[in-house]
Structure 1
Amino acid sequence: MNRQTLVSLASGTLFGAGLAISGMIDPARVRAFLDVGGAWDPTLAFVMGGAILPMIVAWAIVRRRARPIVATEFHLPATRPIDGRLIAGAALFGIGWGLAGLCPGPAIASLGVAPIPALIFCAGMVLGFALFRLVPAPSSTRKGTRDGLQAAR
């Protein structure tokens, strides 16, 4: 196993453990965060807020590097304009998140704790990925020319 695979595995394991420890793999907790008119639970806001500081530090370090530590080059997505396809995808994501109380990271982390509900969600997630690949992008969609790292510099 190469270094990049080991770092990816360690990072994913750390992320999944963080989700489990913070309670973010509990759909009821996530739905309680989204219930701003009822019994609102701010835990998710604190988890998100706690993720911002390390990310700010990580981006400050990455911007100064010519290449990643365990890869030959950065692979960041191109910046693309906000269009109907993005808005529709974000809306579907939000609806699914609100209904299921899970998004991709917590769903995968939940496979070890509550495998049946997590498998149902993951099957729907994979179906959504496949549908995205099958639905052609409009020909008028322009591809971005600058990646996130170049734009950040």
Structure 2
Amino acid sequence: MSGFTMSPSKALAVLASGALFGFGLSLATMIRPEVVLSFLRFQDLGLMLVMGGAVVVTLLAYRVGPRLLRQPLLGGYFHQHVSVWNRDTVLGAALFGAGWGLCGVCPGPAIAGLGTGNWDLAWALAGILAGALLQGWRARA
């Protein structure tokens, strides 16, 4: 992104949010592919609590936050995401789900898992990066 700048307070907020996210993923054991795979096989449903908690916090932040605050605490405005359901969205979601189901690795937990020394996750991240790069090239064509 050319011309992208971030104030020190925003950079600190992003860093703190990322650290909180990574710590939560690690604490919930989502950084261990075998735990995620056992969830996907319906053998261990503990991660359902993690996802449920994330949904509740996100719902509150997106629905209640803009009503309580005139603008975000660090400036700017509240963005509205317009959902676009098309062939690429459905196909991308299916491919992402298949990849996640096959290896039990999602990008966020994989990055957090590297912080615990699980270097095998670097292979999954390399594949995720290659897929994203290929899609970026495809989208430009």
Q: TM-score, normalised by structure 1?
A: 0.78
Query: Following TM superposition, by how much is the alpha carbon of 1:67 offset from its aligned partner in structure 2, in angstroms?
Result: 2.3
Aligned residues: 134
For the pair 1:72 / 2:71, whether they are aligned, the reply is: no
Is the partner of 2:119 in helix, strand or coil? helix
For the pair 1:24 / 2:30, whether they are aligned, the reply is: yes
Name the Cα RMSD after superposition.
2.0
**Counterpart among 72, 80, 83 of residue 86 in structure 2:** 83
Corresponding letter in the other structure for 1:83: N
Query: Following TM superposition, by how much is the alpha carbon of 1:4 offset from its aligned partner in structure 2, in angstroms?
Result: 0.6
From the superposition, tell whether residues 75 and 132 of structure 1 become closer, same or farther in structure 2 (CA, over 3 Å): farther
Is the partner of 1:135 in helix, strand or coil? helix
> Could you give the per-residue CA deviations for residues 90-149 of structure 1, whole angstroms, max 9, x where no partner exists?
1111111112211111011011124422211111111111111111389xxxxxxxxxxx
Where does 1:1-153 land on structure 2 (aligned, <5 Å)? Answer: 2-36=8-42, 40-64=43-67, 65-80=69-84, 82-136=85-139
Distance 2:126 2:78 in 1: 30
Corresponding letter in the other structure for 2:37: R
Distance 1:4 1:118 in 2: 29
Name the % identity.
39
Is the partner of 1:136 in helix, strand or coil? helix
Distance 1:120 1:20 in 2: 19
> Could you give the per-residue CA deviations for residues 17-71 of structure 1, whole angstroms, max 9, x where no partner exists?
00101111110010011113xxx10011111112222223212332313321113
Distance 1:77 1:56 in 2: 14
The runs of 4+ residues in structure 1 deviating greater than 4 Å are none
Q: TM-score, normalised by structure 2?
A: 0.84
Is the partner of 1:78 in helix, strand or coil? coil
Corresponding letter in the other structure for 1:79: S
From the superposition, tell whether residues 3 and 76 of structure 1 become closer, same or farther in structure 2 (CA, over 3 Å): farther
Query: Following TM superposition, by how much is the alpha carbon of 1:12 offset from its aligned partner in structure 2, in angstroms?
Result: 0.5
Corresponding letter in the other structure for 2:16: A
Unaligned runs of 5+ in 2: 1-6
